[in-house]
Structure 1
């Protein structure tokens, strides 16, 4: 059929025949559209360059190598005021990725729990879940962030009157102060052993689930495989003679010193993003569970499975095919909504790069293009991962 279509395309035609040929018209119209888009893009670029030249603004990305000259309150990588603007970009990017990754995990767990509770036969649990969803998803996210930051976290007492928490942690208006583990020797070997144990446990669990004869599917074998995550690092700890110490936060003259301090801006943003997105994820989960035919529940009950077993082994695996596509949209929304961090002073990508760097350099076009490209790359990577997961889920369903 493709050869016949190619032959018809190559046959000589009169102008009248070509005008009424759908394939010819499609090619002509698409070519005209491409030409118009190219002309429009060229005009935009030329006008932008002319306006920048008229205002004596240099264009290009050389500014990334210049010294930033400002500090950032929270940084996961080494950074100081002597670092470059490229370093400031990396700081904002890592802060955005941190809050997005943690927010996705918390929102997923909370959303699945609330979505399952919506369908619970327990009247109180179902109504509480419904109230949570209707309250949280109908209040603007920006307002919720301000409530968590100003009305909740900033209302805690000063460091001198901090609230004592279990395990030596403290909570005050300047953040959450936690104990921190420090490795004096052998920390690298311990980290490698943990990663290796996790990889081995995952590989053995995958073998157990793919074995058709059932020899690997015994639950005790899977439990023993994941026990490696605790046994192997412990043996590595003994072999490397690593010395592990715990640094507890202690009250200094103005604030707590030592340990791990989490700033209130990060806590407010993480809590706000997680709780807001969880409300939408719960409705997605509820719709996915209701999308599984009722006969599957009846078949599970006929096999003698409890409600929890039926949900975990029968209903939820089938519902994931319905849940995964809209769940991907919520992950993307959470990542992009993290840009609202500028309202509460958290140093994310928009606040650091599109805010401070833009104001200092005046390179508006370049800064905005880089920011858009970074968010686009994060979104595409997230969508690619979720699409692969969705493909595996759909294959398992068949």
Structure 2
């Protein structure tokens, strides 16, 4: 009988699992690097053959086109770098609006799914099952073409108090202008916030020591209103308002919210709120029922039980999937190109790419922007998630 010699531990033979693991990893790295080198070399060769220069020097060239909405000053003669900033701010604007609206709407819909009211529970169920099963692009088209574009023209615009005007050109609202008392107003507001936070923490400490619950919100509300109001009375108005007025075929002055922004905000908020509502409902139901019974045995009313007992525990389940929905909002905002909203994709990966031919640079910049925004949102949500996490000792 022949006896096979046992493998020596730490030997360099191919039968050693550790050697095979290292070999396969090295081969994988070599393959990835080789593919990357080939793609880069092939790209550079094709660019040279077509006479296309690479680099980011085009950012200093004049764009030569107008943008219907810009949060910063912009003229047609500004550079492509300025166009990048306009697209970035517009993307951040619609993402922030959708995150806020979808969060509030989803929270109340999630609570409605658990309500004892039969009608409220069924309405929220129909809302959730309807809107989360319709693609967001179709919802954007619905709000834009079927609703907002069918509003009356500027001359027949719907008016509210002669300050707000809604037409198929958008929503025109008064625009704030800085006044002489702005500095004093900001200082008074910051002081009011500091006092409000201090009072809230003091009452919380008093509650932990004595068990007595003090209501902080009446005093906090009074401080937040009276101090800034006093500053305006003494130092003058903090803001003046530029009211829009109909001149010719459109409104002039004020601030315009274009239909593309409204349609995108409505569609993404409604769509994402349906998913957030289910996350809220699942998080609340994940809290053990004994917590409800313990709060009820202490005589706590339902609103206090929900606010002080249930929601803080449910957040530990809610935050991780909620982060994914916030990331989806940012990524879905790129659908704005379908209706011409001037976001990063529409401006930079669309108009600028077509004018300059710098496909690699424009696409790389656009992808990097979405990646950085997503990473920042994930970082902030993870920081908050760690703060509310249970720590086992």
TM-score, scaled relative to structure 1: 0.90
What's the CA shift for 1:367?
Answer: 0.4
Asked whether 1:316 is paired with 2:301, we answer no
Unpaired runs of at least 5, structure 1 = 1-10
What's the CA shift for 1:140?
Answer: 1.0
What's the CA shift for 1:312?
Answer: 1.4
Superposed structure 1 runs of 4+ greater than 4 Å apart? 206-213, 215-218
What's the CA shift for 1:299?
Answer: 1.1
SS at match of 2:171: strand
Separation of aligned partners in 2, 1:126 and 1:330: 23
1:128 equivalent in structure 2: 123
SS at match of 2:115: coil
Separation of aligned partners in 1, 2:185 and 2:341: 32
Separation of aligned partners in 2, 1:271 and 1:182: 28
Contact persistence 1:318–1:397 (CA under 8 A): no
Q: What are the residue-to-residue correspondences of 1:304-343 with 2, within 5 Å? A: 304-343=299-338
TM-score, scaled relative to structure 2: 0.91
Unpaired runs of at least 5, structure 2 = 1-7
Q: Tell which deviates more after alignment, 74-83 or 162-171.
A: 162-171
> Structure 1 residues 161 and 397 mapped into 2: Cα distance closer, same or farther (>3 Å)?
farther
1:7 equivalent in structure 2: none
Separation of aligned partners in 2, 1:143 and 1:33: 42
Contact persistence 2:183–2:238 (CA under 8 A): no
1:3 equivalent in structure 2: none
Asked whether 1:150 is paired with 2:166, we answer no
> Structure 1 residues 254 and 285 mapped into 2: Cα distance closer, same or farther (>3 Å)?
same
> Structure 1 residues 35 and 79 mapped into 2: Cα distance closer, same or farther (>3 Å)?
same
SS at match of 2:307: helix
> Structure 1 residues 159 and 217 mapped into 2: Cα distance closer, same or farther (>3 Å)?
farther
Separation of aligned partners in 2, 1:174 and 1:238: 37
> Superposition RMSD on alpha carbons, in Å?
2.4
1:14 equivalent in structure 2: 11
What's the CA shift for 1:303?
Answer: 1.2
What's the CA shift for 1:283?
Answer: 0.7
Q: How many residues align?
A: 386
Post-superposition CA distance 1:117-176 (Å, at most 9, x none)? 011110000000001011111111111101101111111111111112257312111111
Q: Tell which deviates more after alignment, 244-253 or 102-111.
A: 244-253
2:374 equivalent in structure 1: 379
> Structure 1 residues 315 and 12 mapped into 2: Cα distance closer, same or farther (>3 Å)?
closer
1:264 equivalent in structure 2: 259
Q: What are the residue-to-residue correspondences of 1:212-291 with 2, within 5 Å? A: 213-214=208-209, 219-221=214-216, 223-225=218-220, 227-242=222-237, 244-291=239-286
